[in-house]
Structure 1
């Protein structure tokens, strides 16, 4: 059993002073408030729970920065996607493991302690399924194990290139499956997971999955999470209306029994009625502000959604620049630019923007990944210590505001499942993982 003492810590009830916790194995044991430290305690100034990252495509970390050139006047998500197809053409399971491990190291170093891997790279380079249908899923599990991050694996069903069951294009050959093949993939993936990992499913989008296929695969989730891309681009919304007469989020809410198990990724382009209805469903909106900005996708209607009591979480999606605080900062800054005022995502009861965003994405992320988060007895011992107390000095909420908006290198340590994975701001096994990543990239982009 290990003991820690924090001058201040973020608990489920908010900030507390003089917090002493015990860790029994991988979980928090006791949590005592208002006490002095005891001999043998590890002492830290500030502790917060690790954040969940609800949406990652780990292999895309390897192409970060490779698409930042103007290719045509209307450069957008769809032209970026062609770069992505070219990058993944040669990836092997070993390549995916090396790239994804580096992404997970960077997530831990910036304060994420669990990831929802929206995993759609299943097939060999010729488009045929590997002899082991979960060969690529095994690479993801290996990367999570090596880095130490918690994992919610979300195998993706992807069958078509557009609404109405249009045949997939050549660049999608490594994604596609039929329903029977997806059943085999899900079961093989489930068998790979360590005890503290969990499994959901991810119908990729309404572009890639027909209504009948969606009905067929949803039972595979059981009570587990269901994640889906929805309304990420204006072109997607227009195509949905042309095909079904309904916008993507509108169609899902009317036809798919969307509830608290669901996480709609992006949901950027919604009407006010859709926004309120999504909030009322109990589902989580999985926002990826840095990627959405990088791709020029648009700005989520966060203020309307907040006023409707909607639940949110954050993800790193394309992993163009992995930074938990950066995702929260971009979320608020996008709203300030859209509305031309400040502190948009705080309110009268929670005036600190940093604290409001942290609390909402912690709760929404835990729901979306179905994994309890927070410094509380029985929960996985996943927490972050913040250094540089002069920069982060002040009341607890001030520390979160400074971490999100005004601090660099504030994270000192990260523990996941009771094991320290980051010390002095660096992953304890990161050097070897970075070296393998560099060798992999040198070969892939030579």
Structure 2
């Protein structure tokens, strides 16, 4: 039994002072109660304890590209599409050993940033020439092996990616490692189930039809049905050219088509959705699906600004992910999300309410929405939930002397990952005093893995 004593804790009932949170050996919260008098020397003392969200969208391998794609491409108007060509050239060199080492570093950095779970949108499946490995789930096994090392909670989403566009053209050279027909995808999913079953019981397997561009309409619906109880993630309405392509070939805008043709409910996490009309925003928000937002990557790639104000006013649910992993920071994702609304609307505290400050509202929203997107029984500090917990250091200069919602406001708008004191993922105490317990081991493996990649640039 693990017992944490928090000076302040944001539980499902709101802020509570001086509480004891007990965690069963199975990783679930067993009790929350007033600490009373006295102190057990084995109790872990923390400052402010809050839910640790899921990182709801990641492509782990792209972490090794961070900072390497900031030069102008061949086009005088560089964009997502020219960045994508650079990404394709980079991934052609990746080996399974390198992918495992990179994924472990990504997961370690997520934990140190305050996330408890990695939702991996996993589409790097095959050898560089497009041929499957002897084990079709070789790369999925490497993501799972990384999670075993890092201790993070894992929701694995094998991606179905079949075509190079809405016209169903063959995959291009840079996409060969992604592609599967329906039968090969079914084999991949079966192998992924075997791989993930070796992890602790909080793991989750879902599916990810990549996008409306990468699958036929029939295949998209079939993929969503393969794991009827698991999460379904889909890139949707990320870029203006994507909207135009879908409209030209499918006769409707992406969100419009999805609303008319898919059974969108709480299983679905729709990634990015930065290109929506006002009516699409309101209607989609009311389906119960989660918006999988990646504000730092969306800003980096020029995707556009998600309409968080109207989405949340319509009852929409949100999560955040680090996507390209150019920067892994929970505080900065939340800051970018809110400040983008301010810039667009010439406002301040755009996502605050009369009852909740900006930091509080965002942290609670992405904790609950992230748990839904991950298919994970967490999101609140509440008895019976997985113990996904983030302790913020109230001795940190930016948080000292603060109470309640102001702690979260200062973490999001003045602080960063250095405010993170401890992190538990389903009760696994992986970050202690701001440092992952296996940081040196994971960092050494990463350095060794990326050295030949960088030598080849």
TM-score in terms of structure 2 length: 0.95
The offset of 1:339, in angstroms, is: 0.7
Report the secondary structure of 2:318's partner residue.
Answer: strand
Match of 2:261 among 249, 255, 265: 255
Which range moves more in the overlay, 380-389 or 290-299?
380-389
Q: Does 1:59 align with 2:55?
A: no
The offset of 1:35, in angstroms, is: 3.1
Q: Taking structure 1 as reference, are residues 382 and 37 closer, same or farther at Cα in structure 2, changes over 3 Å only? A: farther
Match of 1:413 among 417, 422, 439: 422
Question: 2-side partners of 1:394 and 1:36: how far apart?
Answer: 23
Aligned to 1:162: 165
Unaligned runs of 5+ in 1: none
Report the secondary structure of 2:116's partner residue.
Answer: strand
Post-superposition CA distance 1:224-250 (Å, at most 9, x none): 100000010011001111111211111
Question: 2-side partners of 1:35 and 1:262: how far apart?
Answer: 43
The offset of 1:417, in angstroms, is: 2.5
Aligned to 1:440: 449
Aligned to 1:132: 135
Question: 1-side partners of 2:244 and 2:419: how far apart?
Answer: 43
Question: 2-side partners of 1:119 and 1:297: how far apart?
Answer: 21
Post-superposition CA distance 1:107-142 (Å, at most 9, x none): 000000001100000011110111111000000001
The offset of 1:34, in angstroms, is: 6.0
Post-superposition CA distance 1:409-434 (Å, at most 9, x none): 11111122222211221111011111
Q: Taking structure 1 as reference, are residues 248 and 37 closer, same or farther at Cα in structure 2, changes over 3 Å only? A: farther
Runs of 4+ in 1 over 6 A off after TM superposition: none
Which range moves more in the overlay, 34-43 or 79-88?
34-43
Q: Does 1:312 align with 2:318?
A: yes
Question: 1-side partners of 2:68 and 2:402: how far apart?
Answer: 41
Please tell me whether the aligned partners of residues 48 and 394 of structure 2 are also in contact (alpha carbons under 8 angstroms): no
Question: 1-side partners of 2:158 and 2:81: how far apart?
Answer: 23
Aligned to 2:377: 372
Q: Taking structure 1 as reference, are residues 152 and 120 closer, same or farther at Cα in structure 2, changes over 3 Å only? A: same
Please tell me whether the aligned partners of residues 275 and 306 of structure 2 are also in contact (alpha carbons under 8 angstroms): yes
Q: Taking structure 1 as reference, are residues 346 and 217 closer, same or farther at Cα in structure 2, changes over 3 Å only? A: same
The offset of 1:440, in angstroms, is: 1.0
Q: Aligned-pair RMSD on alpha carbons?
A: 1.2
Please tell me whether the aligned partners of residues 164 and 210 of structure 1 are also in contact (alpha carbons under 8 angstroms): no
Post-superposition CA distance 1:167-196 (Å, at most 9, x none): 111110000000011111111101111222
Report the secondary structure of 1:62's partner residue.
Answer: helix
Please tell me whether the aligned partners of residues 336 and 342 of structure 1 are also in contact (alpha carbons under 8 angstroms): yes
* 1:317-396 correspondence to structure 2 within 5 Å: 317-350=323-356, 352-373=357-378, 374-389=380-395, 391-392=398-399, 393-396=401-404
Please tell me whether the aligned partners of residues 20 and 37 of structure 1 are also in contact (alpha carbons under 8 angstroms): no
The offset of 1:286, in angstroms, is: 0.4
Please tell me whether the aligned partners of residues 37 and 43 of structure 1 are also in contact (alpha carbons under 8 angstroms): no
Report the secondary structure of 1:221's partner residue.
Answer: coil
The offset of 1:144, in angstroms, is: 0.9
The offset of 1:73, in angstroms, is: 2.1
The offset of 1:61, in angstroms, is: 0.4
Match of 1:298 among 295, 304, 308: 304
The offset of 1:402, in angstroms, is: 0.5
Post-superposition CA distance 1:58-99 (Å, at most 9, x none): 111011111011123211110110111011102111110000
Aligned to 1:212: 218
Q: Taking structure 1 as reference, are residues 117 and 37 closer, same or farther at Cα in structure 2, changes over 3 Å only? A: farther
The offset of 1:388, in angstroms, is: 3.9
The offset of 1:304, in angstroms, is: 1.2
Aligned to 1:200: 206
The offset of 1:37, in angstroms, is: 5.1
Number of residue pairs aligned between Structure 1 and Structure 2: 445
Question: 1-side partners of 2:362 and 2:23: how far apart?
Answer: 27
Aligned to 1:32: 33
Aligned to 2:148: 145
Unaligned runs of 5+ in 2: none
Aligned to 1:6: 6
Q: Taking structure 1 as reference, are residues 37 and 117 closer, same or farther at Cα in structure 2, changes over 3 Å only? A: farther
Question: 1-side partners of 2:326 and 2:299: how far apart?
Answer: 11
* 1:178-189 correspondence to structure 2 within 5 Å: 178-189=181-192
Please tell me whether the aligned partners of residues 124 and 130 of structure 1 are also in contact (alpha carbons under 8 angstroms): yes
Please tell me whether the aligned partners of residues 18 and 37 of structure 1 are also in contact (alpha carbons under 8 angstroms): no
Question: 1-side partners of 2:37 and 2:120: how far apart?
Answer: 40
